[in-house]
Structure 1
Amino acid sequence: MAGGSAIRGSRVGAGPRGEAERGNTAPRFFVSYYCANSHETRPSFSIESGAQAPELWDCTSCGCPAGQDQQNPPSTQRNVPYKTHLAYVKERRTEEDGEALLAEALATLRARRGR
């Protein structure tokens, strides 16, 4: 006998397979959502908890917003480009403010060094 696994294809602690051994799942309802790229997403919601389906859902294929009306899906969101830290700083400060802060920081640094 080569190998020490008595039960091949399972792991230690694995439980029985099949719904009969695990118990029944909670009753659910499915809602279809459609995105602008003609993808359909069908998430399920619990009936017992009284969950209500939201108006919009993210498409699992492309990430665009999806709505329940197949004929009029929501428009795709405009991608906001990635901004660097410098871009955010430039939004808050003018070029003159930046020059003044740089001069102040250099003056402080030179004073500490004794120049």
Structure 2
Amino acid sequence: MAGGSAIRGSRVGAGPMGESERGDTAPRFFVAYYCAHEHVTRPSFSIEAHVEAPEVWECTSCGLPAGQDPENPPAAVRNTPYKTHLAYVKERRSEADGKALLDEALASLRARRGGRPLR
């Protein structure tokens, strides 16, 4: 059984219900956004802020970008996969450059070892 003097059905911080006790709500306008999965998101914006609704909004259901045109929703943003260090090196250098650098490094290593073969 719950403790002592709590009023059944209430919670800490619960206040009165209704606008008369809380004050009037700010005037708002709603904008519908449509994603590629045909979800509809309707965020509200304050009229008093004098701002225009953004062109694109994140869908609250799937996270895809959503636009105001239900027939042409924006395409999903494509993430580029993680690249390894070798992939970045191959973007900067050709196979011939890589072979020349390898030959130069092997020659330098052989010179430091006194001509002994590498294992």
TM-score range, shorter chain: 0.5 to 0.7
The one-letter amino acid paired with 2:40 is E
> How many residues are aligned here?
94
- Residue 14 of structure 2 corresponds to 14
- Tell me how far apart the structure 2 counterparts of residues 8 and 90 of structure 1 sit (CA, whole Å): 66
- Per-residue deviation, 1:16: 1.6
The one-letter amino acid paired with 1:77 is V
Residues 78-89 of structure 1 aligned to structure 2 (within 5 Å): 78-81=78-81, 83=82, 87=84, 89=85
- Residue 62 of structure 1 corresponds to 62
The one-letter amino acid paired with 1:30 is F
- Residue 38 of structure 1 corresponds to 38
Secondary structure of 1:29 counterpart:
strand
Gaps of 5+ in 2: 91-97, 106-119
The one-letter amino acid paired with 2:60 is T
- Per-residue deviation, 1:90: 4.7
| Higher deviation after alignment, 33-42 or 69-78 | 69-78
Residues 74-113 of structure 1 aligned to structure 2 (within 5 Å): 74-81=74-81, 83=82, 87=84, 89-90=85-86
- Rg larger for: 2
Secondary structure of 1:20 counterpart:
helix
The C-alpha deviation readout for 1:22-43, integer Å capped at 9, x for no partner, is: 1111000000000010000000
| Higher deviation after alignment, 66-75 or 6-15 | 6-15
Q: TM-score, normalised by structure 2?
A: 0.63
- Residue 29 of structure 2 corresponds to 29
- Provide closer, same or farther for how the CA distance between residues 7 and 91 of structure 1 changes in structure 2, counting only shifts above 3 A: same
Give the RMSD, CA atoms, in angstroms: 2.8
Q: TM-score, normalised by structure 1?
A: 0.65
